[in-house]
Amino acid sequence: MKKTLTIILTDGPYISEYAEVAYKIARAALKEHEVNIFLYLDSVHIPNRGQMPHLFRNAGESFEMLANCGATVRACVRCAAARGYLPDKDLSDERSSVCQDYHKGIEITSLYDLAEMLKRSDRVIALSR
Amino acid sequence: MRSIFYLLDCAPYGSEKAYGLLNAAAVSIKMDVTVGLFADGVYLALANQDSLALGTPNLSEIIYAYPEITVVAHEPSLVERNLMDQELIEMVMLTDEEEFLDAIRASHCILIL
């Protein structure tokens, strides 16, 4: 049975290297493990579409790629709503929801999903300043 | 039961860090949850917090609302900040260096947000 790694982020893209570090860790881990990524606080900006960084890898596209490769990438609904990212569906009816402003494969969910991820994980890494 | 240790090492007000950490702790109460206050994080242990003028939630109310969360404060950090003669939230347990480290070592997962 595959082991599960959960990565928690709190920084937005580019302000620190953590989104890039998480991408590299997750990409490597996905070869052998299940990977969850929980976007908390300012990291809910990472999946925002339309980023155009000149000198850095596009964080939104990187995380969409991780989701395409099987990673579960979820953003905290309260943090997302506070920053203007609203789920398409009411989370009182659905466990998670896509968001028009987000890259594909990344969904908005309740903070309770973080607790579930922590409970089910073999290893947890929090990348935070 | 799985155990989570949330470490707060920054001041409770002035950023979203402590609020985020306490909310994450609050949703984790089906596990064995400890919030460890270290360095400037020990300011969260002070009683009679009033955040009204800041326009932010009173974080001590989250501690009162979730008695399932064990809150420990690193006593040397309180001493360094001359806070030992201040009234503290009664639910906060003071720990010395060794006890604080033991609580960290005993946890399955340590999170610094």
Query: What is the pLDDT, as a whole number, of residue A108?
Result: 97
> What is the per-residue pLDDT across B24-71, written as a single tens digit (0 to 9) for each?
999 999 999 999 999 999 999 999 999 999 999 999 999 999 999 999
- Number of separate helices (H) and strands (E) present in chain B: 4, 5
Q: Give the residue numbers in B contacting A (CB under 8 Å), as ranges.
A: 2, 4, 16-17, 20, 23-24, 27-28, 30-31, 109, 111-113
Q: What is the pTM of this model?
A: 0.94
> What is the per-residue pLDDT across A43-54, written as a single tens digit (0 to 9) for each?
999 999 999 999
Query: What is the pLDDT, as a whole number, of residue B1?
Result: 87
* Residue A34, helix vs strand vs coil: strand
Q: Which CATH number characterizes residue B86's domain?
A: 3.40.1260.10
Band of residue A95 on the pLDDT scale cut at 50, 70, 90: confident
The interface predicted TM-score of the complex, written ipTM, equals 0.91
The Cα angle at residue B27 between residues A24 and B13, in degrees rounded to 5: 80
Band of residue A1 on the pLDDT scale cut at 50, 70, 90: confident
Q: Report the alpha-carbon distance of residue A87 to residue A108 in Å, rounded.
A: 6
Task: List the single residue in B27, B28, B112 with the smallest CB-CB distance to A128.
Answer: B112
The residue range of the domain holding A13 is 4-127
The residue range of the domain holding B29 is 3-112
Q: How many distinct structural domains can be found in chain A?
A: 1
Q: What is the strand order of the sheet A34-39 is part of?
A: A96-97, A106-109, A72-76, A34-39, A4-9, A123-127
Q: How many distinct structural domains can be found in chain B?
A: 1
Band of residue A128 on the pLDDT scale cut at 50, 70, 90: very high
